[in-house]
Chains A and B, each alone.
Chain A
Amino acid sequence: MQTLPADSRSDDLIKVENLSKYFSVSSGLFSKPFQLKALQDISFTVKRGETLGIVGESGCGKSTLGRCILQLLTPDDGRVLWMGQDIAALPPEEMRKHRKDLQIIFQDPLASLNPRMTVGEIIADPLKTLMPELKAKERRDRVIRIMEAVGLLPEMINRYPHEFSGGQAQRIGIARALITEPKLIVCDEPVSALDVSIQAQILNLLADLKDQFGLTLIFISHNLSVVRHVSDRIMVLYLGRIVELANGDDLYDDPKHPYTRALLTAVPIPDPRRARQRTIDGLVGEIPSPINPPSGCTFRTRCRYALPICAQQRPPLESTGTRMIACHRWQELELKPGA
């Protein structure tokens, strides 16, 4: 397949088109494995310099999407255009040329650091494979510069991960992602394992680094307060499909999809008077199994506005120019703001 000509002036750093990812799940030794549709028909763009938040409940496919964008998982269908070039089809050696531009930060900071490597080795590790031309001295200088940028003392360079707290370990993870001077970082629940006071420090750090290094971020989290805090635009996923995507303020102040609204009213607010006043949009039940999703609109089993048509036809993802939404009734429903 021919790739589109690279257009480096385009605002779109990443364009995802009709991406799908299936996993085969075996139910027993002798039964036929069946397909779990983790992501279906996902299309969106990420603009240079923005932060795109991805939210949804467990099993909605948000982490799978992050990994598909980075080609850590190979999508089963669709394209991922990185500055105009389809990287979903690239063989691993070709992909390696792009790896230094695309990095990731993981949730569990200690589990994602090799306990037998020193901090300096961990941070420098990506350089060995991705920028082998650097000399030892240059590598070390770079490591020290990045350590300072993320708030680690350079004299910690020879220490081991177990000597660090969770927040400091996450700083090491961030330094490792930054060392190749990437253009895009996928942050997969980067603060979920941290204490509240440390979480705030890391969120501020990410904001500073984004300005300083001109980064584009994809920020995956189940925590809607955190996502709102960091994101310019936000995508809401439900059972592997986009249900709504809009600017942060539009989405939070004026949710159009019943699921977005339900999510927002369920977020605990650290304000007792408001918390007592508001009514939670009593979403019944739990997210259905992605192995056997409901017909039509997958959200209909928990949606208070569902009509017969919702069971028969899957609502298309409509675009209004500023917002994408997949709901049969979004134009007629009057949903109050969530929080």
Chain B
Amino acid sequence: MANVLVVDDLDVTFSLHQSEVKAVSDLNFTLSEGETLAVVGESGSGKSQAFLSIMGLLAKNGKASGRAMLGDTNLIGMAPGALDAYRGKDIAMIFQDPMTSLNPTLKVKTQLAEVLVRHQGYTLEKAVRTTIEMLERVGIPEPVKRANAYPHELSGGMRQRVMIAMALLCKPKVLIADEPTTALDVTVQAQMLDLFKNLSNEFGTALVLITHDLGVVAGVADRMMVMYGGRCVEQGPTDNLFYDPRHPYTLGLLHSTPHVAKRARRLDPIQGLPPSLEHLPSGCAFHPRCAFRFDRCFTERPPLLPVEDVREKACWYQGELNYEEVA
């Protein structure tokens, strides 16, 4: 499969009053056509900022460096005017809260058709027709009626479908979805995840799913990337990471997640709190919470290195990840 997005050495830094905070450090990954990559991490892990920087949507005090190659084009450092030729056309992003992402004063069809008029040069009439077709594709009943509605007249699930329809109008190569189902009820979430799967098959769109929910990852992702303290700590095929995690943080996340089909008496959580990016621990950022740490972890940061062919991890510990052995 051809690579559609190649990210090299991505750094994101925010300048505060007195200091600088690095939200993302040294991120490298590739995304191939039609694949679904899940990006997993807790708050402050840098998972959202990494992709906001690729979209050129960082806050004013944020700065990105490195490369994000969409085909032959580097999106990092591009002027906003130039970026607009790609955003919404070749690469699109949807967010957790669909209400705040839609313009409340415009009818659904107006804001969706605008995308096609602008990027594809459609006439308004043709754009509206295509819009209605797309609303139907994403499973909106009575698409003509909904197209004439304002966002507040739609339910949460319906609004998220509208956002997905909008993002897919130009058949983007890459769709980035930041916690797209977190605000939705579980039955609607299931419908939405199904929709993502079908659409990426149908349009060949590569999907980046940013989420904290490992259940969501298991259902849809081909590969996953686990982030901690602004860095990727482990990445590889979803099954490998779930059934044979090699980084203690990945293992800890899996142990922390309650499973609907199994009732364990106790969960086995990671001790302590996620670090503040302003005061990242020395060495490996995870070492204060890690059950497998040893001397080296306190002083030296482990690089992200290949393990087997298909996966990478950043951890000094080479033994088996077995809680009993350390305890």
By a beta-carbon cutoff of 8 Å, the part of chain A in contact with chain B is 57-58, 165-168, 195-201, 203-204, 207, 222-226, 228-229, 248-249, 252, 262-276, 280, 282-283, 285-287, 338-339
Given contacts A57-B188, A200-B257, A262-B187, 7 further A-B contacts (CB under 8 A): A195-B43, A195-B212, A197-B256, A198-B274, A204-B267, A266-B189, A276-B219
Evaluate contact between A228 and B260: CB separation under 8 angstroms. yes
Is B97 positioned at the interface, with any CB of A under 8 Å from its CB?
A: no
- CB-defined contacts of A263 to chain B, threshold 8 Å: 186-187
* Contact pick for A271, options B158, B194, B242, B269, CB 8 Å: B242
In the assembled complex, how far is the CB of residue B265 from the closest CB belonging to chain A, in whole angstroms? 8
- CB-defined contacts of A248 to chain B, threshold 8 Å: 263
| Residue of A whose beta carbon sits closest to that of B266 | A204
Query: 10 tightest CB-CB pairs across the interface, nearest first?
Result: A268-B215, A200-B269, A266-B190, A200-B256, A57-B185, A195-B42, A200-B267, A339-B261, A270-B214, A197-B270
Is B258 positioned at the interface, with any CB of A under 8 Å from its CB?
A: yes
In chain B between 268 and 294, which residues have their CB closer than 8 angstroms to a CB of chain A? 268-271, 273-274
* Contact pick for A275, options B42, B189, B218, B271, CB 8 Å: B218
* Contact pick for A269, options B188, B219, B269, CB 8 Å: B219
- CB-defined contacts of B157 to chain A, threshold 8 Å: 286
* Contact pick for B185, options A226, A229, A270, A286, CB 8 Å: A286
Evaluate contact between B260 and A286: CB separation under 8 angstroms. no
Evaluate contact between B253 and A197: CB separation under 8 angstroms. yes
| Residue of A whose beta carbon sits closest to that of B211 | A268
Give CA–CA (A248, B262) in the complex, Å.
11
Please list 12 pairs of residues, one from A and one from B, whose beta carbons are closer than 8 Å in the complex, sorted by A's number: A200-B268, A203-B258, A225-B259, A267-B260, A268-B190, A268-B216, A268-B218, A272-B243, A275-B215, A276-B219, A286-B187, A286-B188
Give CA–CA (A285, B156) in the complex, Å.
12
Give CA–CA (A273, B243) in the complex, Å.
10
Evaluate contact between B261 and A274: CB separation under 8 angstroms. yes
Give CA–CA (A263, B266) in the complex, Å.
24
Is B239 positioned at the interface, with any CB of A under 8 Å from its CB?
A: yes
| Residue of A whose beta carbon sits closest to that of B257 | A270
- CB-defined contacts of A264 to chain B, threshold 8 Å: 260
Evaluate contact between B215 and A196: CB separation under 8 angstroms. no
Evaluate contact between B274 and A195: CB separation under 8 angstroms. yes
| Residue of B whose beta carbon sits closest to that of A280 | B190
In the assembled complex, how far is the CB of residue B238 from the closest CB belonging to chain A, in whole angstroms? 5
Evaluate contact between A270 and B158: CB separation under 8 angstroms. no
In the assembled complex, how far is the CB of residue A55 from the closest CB belonging to chain B, in whole angstroms? 9
| Residue of A whose beta carbon sits closest to that of B188 | A286
Evaluate contact between A229 and B261: CB separation under 8 angstroms. no
Give CA–CA (A268, B150) in the complex, Å.
31
* Contact pick for B155, options A200, A203, A271, A286, CB 8 Å: A286
Evaluate contact between B239 and A273: CB separation under 8 angstroms. yes
Give CA–CA (A197, B250) in the complex, Å.
11
| Residue of A whose beta carbon sits closest to that of B212 | A196
| Residue of B whose beta carbon sits closest to that of A271 | B218
Give CA–CA (A131, B154) in the complex, Å.
48
- CB-defined contacts of A268 to chain B, threshold 8 Å: 189-190, 193, 213-216, 218-219
- CB-defined contacts of B326 to chain A, threshold 8 Å: none
| Residue of B whose beta carbon sits closest to that of A226 | B258
Is B264 positioned at the interface, with any CB of A under 8 Å from its CB?
A: yes
In the assembled complex, how far is the CB of residue A249 from the closest CB belonging to chain B, in whole angstroms? 7
Evaluate contact between A269 and B261: CB separation under 8 angstroms. yes
| Residue of B whose beta carbon sits closest to that of A196 | B256
In chain B between 200 and 251, which residues have their CB closer than 8 angstroms to a CB of chain A? 212-219, 238-239, 242-243
- CB-defined contacts of A282 to chain B, threshold 8 Å: 191, 194
Evaluate contact between B239 and A222: CB separation under 8 angstroms. no
- CB-defined contacts of B190 to chain A, threshold 8 Å: 265-266, 268, 280, 283
Give CA–CA (A166, B194) in the complex, Å.
32
Give CA–CA (A168, B272) in the complex, Å.
10
Take A263-B186, A287-B185 as given contacts and tell me if A203 and B267 are in contact as well, using a CB distance cutoff of 8 Å: yes
Give CA–CA (A265, B273) in the complex, Å.
32
Is B252 positioned at the interface, with any CB of A under 8 Å from its CB?
A: yes
Is B254 positioned at the interface, with any CB of A under 8 Å from its CB?
A: yes
- CB-defined contacts of B155 to chain A, threshold 8 Å: 286
In the assembled complex, how far is the CB of residue B311 from the closest CB belonging to chain A, in whole angstroms? 15
- CB-defined contacts of B218 to chain A, threshold 8 Å: 268-272, 274-275
**By CB atoms of chain A within 10 A, which of B243, B255, B261 has the most?**
B261
- CB-defined contacts of A266 to chain B, threshold 8 Å: 186-187, 189-190
| Residue of A whose beta carbon sits closest to that of B216 | A268
Give CA–CA (A339, B260) in the complex, Å.
7
Take A262-B187, A266-B186, A280-B190 as given contacts and tell me if A272 and B260 are in contact as well, using a CB distance cutoff of 8 Å: no
